Structure 1
Amino acid sequence: MNKNFGNFGGQYVPEALVKPLTELEEAFQGYCYGEEFKNEYKKYMKEYVGRPSLLYYAERLTKHLGGAKIYLKREDLNHTGAHKINNVIGQILLAKHMGKKRVIAETGAGQHGVATATGAALFGMECTVFMGEEDMRRQELNVFRMRMLGAEVQGVASGTATLKDAVDEAFNEYVRRAGDTFYVVGSAVGPHPYPLMVREFQKIIGEEAKVQILEAEGRLPDYLIGCVGGGSNAIGLFYDFLKDDDVKIIGVEAAGKGIKTGLHASAFEGGKVGVIHGMKTYMMADDKGNIKPAYSISAGLDYPGVGPEHAYLKDIGRVNYVSVTDDEAMEGFRLLSRTEGIIPAIESSHALGYAAMAAPKMKKEEIVLINLSGRGDKDVNTAYEYFTGTSRAI
């Protein structure tokens, strides 16, 4: 199995992790492409997660913007409220097959942590979730949800106390306890085989969306848009459309306070190719190759790297990666809430913010399909602080 996506990916890890990752790859390849796994996975996707998630024509948003028709892939309607559960169920089924009794995870916005705690409760496993203390403050509701589900939430105070630091600590724990522990990685990042595994468990999003848009419109969309931090929801939507050359694909990173301020989380805008969390990819780094801290109003996009498959897709020109600021994302958040009665996750709001600027310039017969990767319940406190802090009443 190829460990790379072009020049990106690979397995840059301590010697102690080589054997566990080899065993993981062999188990994944030998089990997850087989009929037994596929049938069990489909069963849980349908009966537990609630798939297929709906494709929704956002008529009032479309009329408000006055351009292309906008459809939303409603991953926010999944059990636990985001796309993360698709990947978690796949990985925990694999962990169960491998005889593991304990799972660990990292989380930023908390949705992956909640999904992992949910899966651990479902399958009767011990669960520890690593989360930056700053993210714990921003996502207090999800911390409570994880603990309600029986998981231990371990705060991480190092660095910026956000997602990158939680990933660091989760990998440290994996090195210490690889013998009895399965690390459920939440995004399309990390050493091989994780980026491949996560994409395989998330590609159901795009497979469903393709069938649904053909049924609704009789043709493929002109544009796909997904937010990108590590990039799991985006690669999940994009993958089944990559060979459809007429479909333009756009990944939206977090520009934070603005790229020029340095307070952002865009690995592509001024980023460098280097090694982070066991993979070779684009990342935010200084001239000496040291990782720079990332910033975003969105805890789930507050990560200084990007999945290696996205790095490859950027370099070959198949996907266009852009970025939007906190302000533009929060305008997308407010706009969808008020036009459609759907409160989106702030991560997804970055895709909405870009669409709000791009769609009015498109023809009315063009079709835009946006991945609404999660719901915004978890972000109400952040939204309240944002809107009241700038004297703008929500």
Structure 2
Amino acid sequence: MTMLPNADGFFGEYGGQFLPAEVLPVVAELAEAYERYRDDDDFLADFKRLLKHFSGRPTPLYFCGNLTRQLGGARIYLKREDLNHLGAHKVNNTIGQILLAKRMGKTRIIAETGAGQHGVATAATAALMGMECTVYMGAEDIERQKLNVFRMEMMGAKVVPAMSGQRTLKEAVDEAIAAWVADAGESFYLLGSAVGPHPYPEMVRDFQSVIGREARKQILELEGRMPDYLVACVGGGSNAIGLFHPFLEDEGVRMQGVEPAGRGLTPGNHAATLSLGTPGVLHGFKSYVLQDDKGEPAPVYSISAGLDYPGVGPEHSYLKDIGRAEYVSASDAEAVHAFFTLSRSEGIIPALESSHALAQALKLAPTLGQDKIVIVNLSGRGDKDVAQIQRMLHEGTITDR
């Protein structure tokens, strides 16, 4: 499992490059560059230096003593990716990719974003490296995440609204890819999740695997053994695969990815791709996809702007099929309940994305003995979501109970 993808970028039947002929050379240039630098000592030294001094790694593995006592079951630990510079795991990947872009001689960064965390991380690393930055973001997500839009603009990025379709993450990806292909000589597409054509799923996973490597070392130091469960939210799936991958060969460690069940598991009301999707091709790669009767990407929804994507990373699709990871879902209401539960029990405000993983942990931990250990990836902090939650409480569309 840890040797995948193969030379053609496939995890089993998923992944690959399903692209028009004119796009293949652009992606081939990227794949060649990543293969050249991924084990380069100078590249890795720069990556590790910036993870430490710019992002602030390592992030702690935090024991939730109050929440554990409140639930009365397994010991719950949080991998505190919310304590990264800029408040989420996304910067792990943007540092790696922008270092690659510099070595490729690119001068302009293009990115997509949903909740805005990847956009903020991209804007920050582009500013650090003195590179022009354009971020495509669905118009609907711009309304939900105005704080992150302003943060991107503060750091010099241009934020372009995606106006087509549902005006969310899928459409932002569509427009970002088009802009990249139109200016491939100078531009580098800094993709934010473990999706897209090869080499993106592998590359993003490799940069994000620092999460799992640290968590593995930390839990051995704290508990003297491996955890029983790893839990992480899944949209495209970068934070989850970053946590899961270093544990794949540890057979006793179970893994649960948590997708958004939204308003209910009916068409257009969720984004539970692995739970209800079927294999298909989206954005140049094969994976599970939520599709309509015509085989087109179906409308999706989540309270969380970072999870409403109709596809998922190909490695997650492979792990589902071979049974190495289990994929479940949490509703909007369950995520909001988890949002307030962690805030009140531990004084930690989680991102709505991460709240989906927490919702599953709230269900899982009481079913396990007190000798069991659950690690939840707290992929981001909830500052960006506070205004949205406050507005929805005022409107009466959610409850804090």
Retained in 2: the 8 A contact 1:203–1:239? Answer: yes
Retained in 1: the 8 A contact 2:234–2:307? Answer: yes
Q: Which residue of the partner structure matches residue 220 of structure 1? A: 226
Q: Which residue of the partner structure matches residue 311 of structure 2? A: 305
Query: What is the TM-score of this pair, normalised by structure 1?
Result: 0.98
Retained in 1: the 8 A contact 2:336–2:400? Answer: no
| Identical residues among aligned pairs (%) | 59
Query: What is the TM-score of this pair, normalised by structure 2?
Result: 0.97
Instruction: After TM superposition, give the deviation of residue 261 of structure 1 in Å.
Output: 5.5
- Give the alignment partner of residue 247 of structure 2, picking from 241, 248, 271: 241
d(CA) in 2 for partners of 1:363 and 1:31?
Answer: 45
d(CA) in 1 for partners of 2:320 and 2:12?
Answer: 11
Retained in 2: the 8 A contact 1:259–1:269? Answer: no
Q: Which moved more, 1:170-179 or 1:188-197?
A: 170-179
Q: Which residue of the partner structure matches residue 105 of structure 2? A: 99
d(CA) in 1 for partners of 2:250 and 2:393?
Answer: 40
Retained in 2: the 8 A contact 1:132–1:157? Answer: yes
Unaligned runs of 5+ in 2: 1-6
Query: What is the CA deviation profile of residues 84-126 of structure 1, one whole-angstrom value per residue up to 9, with x for unaligned ones?
Result: 0000000000000000000010000000000000010000000
Q: Does 1:109 align with 2:115?
A: yes
Q: Which residue of the partner structure matches residue 3 of structure 2? A: none
- Give the alignment partner of residue 171 of structure 1, picking from 165, 169, 177: 177
d(CA) in 2 for partners of 1:149 and 1:285?
Answer: 37
Q: Which residue of the partner structure matches residue 135 of structure 1? A: 141
Q: Which residue of the partner structure matches residue 392 of structure 1? A: 399
Instruction: After TM superposition, give the deviation of residue 181 of structure 1 in Å.
Output: 0.2
Instruction: After TM superposition, give the deviation of residue 393 of structure 1 in Å.
Output: 5.5
d(CA) in 2 for partners of 1:261 and 1:166?
Answer: 21
Q: What's the secondary structure of 2:137's corresponding residue?
A: strand
- The root-mean-square deviation of aligned C-alpha atoms, in Å, is 1.0
Q: What's the secondary structure of 1:154's corresponding residue?
A: strand
- Give the alignment partner of residue 33 of structure 1, picking from 39, 53, 69: 39
Retained in 2: the 8 A contact 1:283–1:304? Answer: yes
Instruction: After TM superposition, give the deviation of residue 287 of structure 1 in Å.
Output: 2.9
Q: Does 1:12 align with 2:18?
A: yes
Q: Which moved more, 1:17-26 or 1:127-136?
A: 17-26
d(CA) in 2 for partners of 1:290 and 1:88?
Answer: 30
d(CA) in 2 for partners of 1:356 and 1:174?
Answer: 42
Retained in 2: the 8 A contact 1:281–1:305? Answer: yes
Instruction: After TM superposition, give the deviation of residue 262 of structure 1 in Å.
Output: 4.0
Unaligned runs of 5+ in 1: none
Query: What is the CA deviation profile of residues 342-368 of structure 1, one whole-angstrom value per residue up to 9, with x for unaligned ones?
Result: 000000000001111111111011000
Q: Does 1:204 align with 2:175?
A: no
d(CA) in 1 for partners of 2:274 and 2:93?
Answer: 25
Runs of 4 or more above 2 Å deviation: 385-394
Letter in 2 for 1:24: L
d(CA) in 2 for partners of 1:393 and 1:305?
Answer: 30
**Alignment map for 1:350-389 (pairs within 5 Å):** 350-389=356-395
Question: How many residue pairs are counted as aligned between the two chains?
Answer: 394
Letter in 2 for 1:260: T
Q: Does 1:81 align with 2:87?
A: yes
d(CA) in 1 for partners of 2:382 and 2:156?
Answer: 23
